[in-house]
Structure formats: structure tokens, C-alpha cells
Amino acid sequence: MNTYTPNEERYSKMKYRRCGNSGLKLPAISLGLWQNFGAGSDFANVETMCRTAFDLGITHFDLANNYGHPYNGSAEENFGKVLEHGLGRYRDELCISTKAGYEMWDGPYGDRNGSRKYLISSLDQSLKRMGLDYVDIFYHHVYDPDTPAEETAVALDHIVRQGKALYVGISNYNAAQTAEIMKIFKELKTPFVVNQPSYSMLNRWVENDGLDRYCKENGVGLAVFSPLYQGFLTDRYLNGIPEDSRIGRGNTWIAQQLDEKMLAKLRALNELAQRRGQKLSQMAIAWLLHNEAVATVLVGASKPSQIQDNVSALDRLDFTESELEEIESVLAK
């Protein structure tokens, strides 16, 4: 059970990027444990995926209090077991993050919020589930209009001073909300280093909002999630809908977006990716890393081979001007 020995070559291929202006470096690709890591998943596969990621130089594992199916917290519990089974021996080589912000437990203190009461209690629960003394990054998971930004910021600052997190982050905050809380973090001298938004070729709100520009100018890294837009930016849907896909299982809101216009877009992007010697998913990840504001791309997975595939995006990160123009014209259609 505890015989895991990581690949000695794990640091030879992965690229590490500074997170904003901080001293923290993150792997260009990180593993997100949102789907497929909970109690309803096969634990042997969960463990193999985490070990595969680390063997490939992925040092950053991203969780949240509400991750895990069929119940909140079960992804953290499983990750705690993975650590216990040998990965935990390499704790100082790992960057582990978790978040709190969405509905988590019954009553007014566990619903969607950013209060001091909720954030501090939630992190204590997360640390217990994972068997950790501290996390590397603790995030407020979603902006809460009903709690003053100052209360949220002071709570996160307090958590760092307690030694329960080394850095803090925010997630799903736009540029204006980021600027508001950042001002308070600056006054408190809180090690605020990262914002985690959704971002992909098909979801460019961070550019339209100016969030990427703001974070780049102010020394905050972006850790971006849903880089493959729920699987659209893979080769899964190019020839119809497979039964075992998210859309095939009928559990996603984006099925109605997969129309002929979208398919034409995906096929054109796929052709360009093939000319570059990449899969569509690999080009989609490389394109995100082309944005200098992005510190790391968070990928999900249901099997180890997908993690391997995504890391291979790093084999070809450069784009010619004409490739970038072609992507823009395809996306504009």
C-alpha cells in the first residue's frame, strides 16, 4: 500500500511558471479534482491518476470543500487517502489548494457565502478530511455580494497567520471584484497570489472583462479551469455524441450549444491542431498558456491516459502569427 516511488524523471519535462509576481511556481498544467475523484469513483483509478500526475511533474493538486460525488467533501477524503498511501511522503514537493464559497452544509453558516464564520470552519473541515496541517493555497471560491470584501479578506489573512494556508486566492471574481479585495490584501500584506476563473477558446470572458490584463499588471497569476469547455475542445464530439460522454449521459447544460455551427468551428480548429502535430485538446491548452497572465491550466481527468495526453500539450507551445489569426477567425464565425 505504501510502496509508491515516483518517477525520478518527473521534473525533466514539466514547465513551471511563476504565479504572478510571487515566489510560488506552479506547473504549467495542474490536476483539478472536481469530477471523478469522489466516493462514487473507483479509488484505485483515483490513486493512479494522482500518481500519474505527480510522475509527470504535476505538483499542484486543486480541490474544494464541495468537490466529490455523491457527497461534498468526498474528493478531499479520497485525496487524503492517496496522501496516506505514499504520496504524502512528498508533501514538500506538492502544492495543494482547496476552496470554500459554495453551499456546503445545512444552515446559514454553510450556505454560499464569504463570511469569516464559514471560511474558517470550512478550512478546518478540509484539513481534517485530507489529514493535513496546512494547504498551500486557500481560495474564496465565488464572490459573495452579501459579505463585505473586507470581512472575507481579513478571514483569509487570519488563516495565513494561523499557519493553515501559505497563500490565498480568489475564484470566479471579475476584474472589478478582484481590484476591490486586492486593495485590502495589500494593506494587510496578505500573500494573495492567484485568481481562478473559467477560461478557454470558447469562453473568453476573462479577456472581455479585462481580468487577465488586470492580473498581469498587478502581479496576480491566473489558474484557469474548464480549459476544454466540458470536453468540446477534444476530439470526442467531432463525429457525433458518444454515449459515455458528459452530453451522452445527459448531465450537462451545454448540450444545446453543440449545434452545426459549433461543430464546424471545432472541426476547423481540429484541422489546425493536426497541422501543428497536436490533438485539439493539446492545442486548446497551449493556446491558454500563450496568454502571459496564465500561470497554470487546471485539467480534469477520468483516466490516467488523459493526464498524459494533456501534459503532451507542452511539446508544442509556440504559435505563429498566422496560426493565431486563423484561430481568431474560426472563433469569430
Give dist(CA 312, CA 285) in Å, integer: 10
Give dist(CA 94, CA 288) in Å, integer: 23
CATH number assigned to the domain with residue range 16-238+281-317, chosen from the 4 options 3.20.20.100, 3.40.50.2300, 2.10.70.10, 3.40.50.300: 3.20.20.100
**For residue 93, what pLDDT band results from cuts at 50, 70 and 90?**
very high
CB 46 within 8 A of CB 304: no
CB 262 within 8 A of CB 229: no
Contacts 24+ apart (CB under 8 A), 181-184: 181/149, 181/152, 181/153, 182/218, 182/220, 184/149, 184/150, 184/153, 184/154
pLDDT (tens digit per residue) in 150-182: 999 999 999 999 999 999 999 999 999 999 999
Residue 63's closest CA among 106, 105, 85, 33? 33
Q: Tell me what percent of the residues of the chain surpass a pLDDT of 90.
A: 91
Residue recorded with cell 503532451: 312
Every domain of the chain and the residues it spans: 16-238+281-317
SS3 content of the chain, % helix, strand, coil (to 5): 40, 15, 40
Residue 64 has phi, psi (to 5 degrees) of -155, 160
Written in H, E and C, the secondary structure of 6-41 is CCCCCCCCCCEEECCCCCCEEECEEEECCCCCCCCC
**According to the model, what pLDDT value does residue 169 have?**
98
At position 153, the amino acid (one-letter code) is: A
**For residue 252, what pLDDT band results from cuts at 50, 70 and 90?**
low
